[in-house]
Structure 1
């Protein structure tokens, strides 16, 4: 009898999502919009939360995207405090910048970053409630 495959948590599955691909398609094609703001946002939140990124850091980058655009934000030397997290975010921003052809795409990307920040906050709040036993 074959060995039972190891079970993986939703976090582990989502952490393996190619967020850059979802950004490239989800920002420009309505058919992928739901996937970007669903699994893509959760995958990004899981990845950044595991690296200790706080929600306000991601929300701040969303404001930078609104003010200066995706290409500008993608070239920030330290978009997030941790180098590993910054590398992930920079890759995602560069992927998004490649397809950003109009202000609506930039706005959608900033909204996506806001969603990621909110999800990180929700994950942290859930952990706090769990550790307090409530």
Structure 2
């Protein structure tokens, strides 16, 4: 009989999601947008929440993307306060900027960042309850 696989929490499974890949496809192809805003947003929220990112920090980055674009936001030296979270978000944004050349892709990126911020806020509010 094969050994029983080690059980993992939903957070652990989602934290292993390739957010960069979901951003690349989800911002440019309608067929992947549901996955980007579903598992992708939750995976990003779990990962960033573990790194201590505050929702307002992501909302600020969303405003930067809205006004300057994905490539500009990806080029920021510190898009988030902590170095580890900043490096991770920079990787996600630069990966998205490489492929998000279709009209409306940056608007979807802004909405996605705002969705991730909302999920982090919800996670935090349920932990306090």
TM-score where L is the length of structure 1: 0.93
What is the aligned-residue RMSD (CA, Å)? 1.0
* Cα deviation, residue 79, structure 1: 0.3
* Cα deviation, residue 5, structure 1: 1.7
**Cα distance in 1 for residues equivalent to 2:46 and 2:32:** 20
**Cα distance in 2 for residues equivalent to 1:43 and 1:2:** 30
Map residues 114-133 of structure 1 onto 2, 5 A cutoff. 114-129=114-129
Equivalent residues of 2:59, 2:114 under 8 A apart: yes
**Cα distance in 2 for residues equivalent to 1:33 and 1:102:** 14
1:44-70 CA-partner distances (Å, limit 9, x unpaired):
000000000000000100000001000
TM-score where L is the length of structure 2: 0.97
* Cα deviation, residue 103, structure 1: 4.7
Map residues 1-134 of structure 1 onto 2, 5 A cutoff. 1-129=1-129
**Cα distance in 1 for residues equivalent to 2:50 and 2:87:** 14
SS, match of residue 53 in structure 1:
coil
The number of residue pairs the alignment matches comes to 129
**Cα distance in 1 for residues equivalent to 2:103 and 2:76:** 20
| Structure index of larger Rg | 1
**Cα distance in 1 for residues equivalent to 2:94 and 2:103:** 16
* Cα deviation, residue 87, structure 1: 0.8
* Cα deviation, residue 6, structure 1: 1.5
SS, match of residue 37 in structure 1:
helix
Unaligned runs of 5+ in 1: 130-134
